[in-house]
Structure 1
């Protein structure tokens, strides 16, 4: 296959993947969006308690997990709010409002989301490391098993 055809196909596939990812994230209207900040805090507390009981966490470990949950929520909120008012869904749909896809707007939206992710990641990574590094080996094994099984951990 000619080189330019391969590049074009990879470019189209990559663009479709990025747009699909943004659309998937933009379409999430249930869950957190309908909750108040107090509801989110209560939910975080329940999750920390549930995970704490599954991993047999002590008080200090639960505190570290709570900090990690707060950092993750702050990162999620920052990602949602990146790019200004109107929300990600309206920003995404506005890219398709004209006769042509707003490529500059799409690039700007991706750049803004990437910048927020890049800027907030060190805090999230530090909180995750602080939590994980302070688990005992058997607790770390449980975390690894959870990650292997995915989101169905709470049903097992």
Structure 2
């Protein structure tokens, strides 16, 4: 087999793996697609309650945690954009006989813009929450983050 054919086939194989990985990761909840607003609210409530419980937060700290959750939810919504099916976006990029580079670049720019625009608010909300914790709570956050699953994962 000629070297350029091997390289082409390997490139296509690698691209298909990359697209498959991106498609699989693009859905928020296994293969069922993005979470509905109701499911997102339910998960958010559980996470906020769990963090509040683990850190023994007072009411002011819970308010800051909820503000952080609001900002993160707004970031997620902006990142997801108007598309309801990220998998369909990726499929559309590879639907033709050639990879739609312009559409892929536009998609990347939209996602990057959403992250860049909303990140300062998320960082400020996270900083406000973290700074409201006492030194014992801050140490607990650092300890929990050292674990493999992060501070919201099961311990």
Task: Tell me the TM-score range normalised by the shorter chain.
Answer: 0.7 to 0.9
Structure 1 residue 151 displacement after superposition: 2.5
Instruction: Please list the CA deviations of residues 95-144 of structure 1 after superposition, one character each: whole Å capped at 9, or x if unmatched.
Output: 10111101111111100100000001011001000000111111111111
Hey, what does 1:6 align to over in structure 2?
Answer: none
Cα distance, 1:108–1:115 mapped onto 2, change above 3 Å: same
Structure 1 length as normaliser, TM-score?
A: 0.76
SS in 2 for 1:151: coil
Measure the CA separation in 2 of the matches of 1:124 and 1:63.
15
Measure the CA separation in 2 of the matches of 1:126 and 1:152.
20
Structure 2 length as normaliser, TM-score?
A: 0.76
Describe how 1:75-154 pairs up with structure 2 within 5 A. Answer: 75-81=75-81, 84-151=82-149, 153=151, 154=153
The answer to whether 1:155 aligns with 2:154 is yes
Q: Which runs of 5+ in 1 are unaligned?
A: 1-11
SS in 1 for 2:34: helix
Describe how 1:27-46 pairs up with structure 2 within 5 A. Answer: 27-30=27-30, 33-35=34-36, 37-46=37-46
Instruction: Please list the CA deviations of residues 74-94 of structure 1 after superposition, one character each: whole Å capped at 9, or x if unmatched.
Output: 11111112xx44532111111
Give the alignment's Cα RMSD to 1 decimal.
2.7
Instruction: Please list the CA deviations of residues 24-43 of structure 1 after superposition, one character each: whole Å capped at 9, or x if unmatched.
Output: 432444478343x3443343
Asked if the contact 2:72/2:122 (under 8 Å) is kept, the reply is yes
Count of residues in correspondence between the two structures: 140
Asked if the contact 2:27/2:34 (under 8 Å) is kept, the reply is no
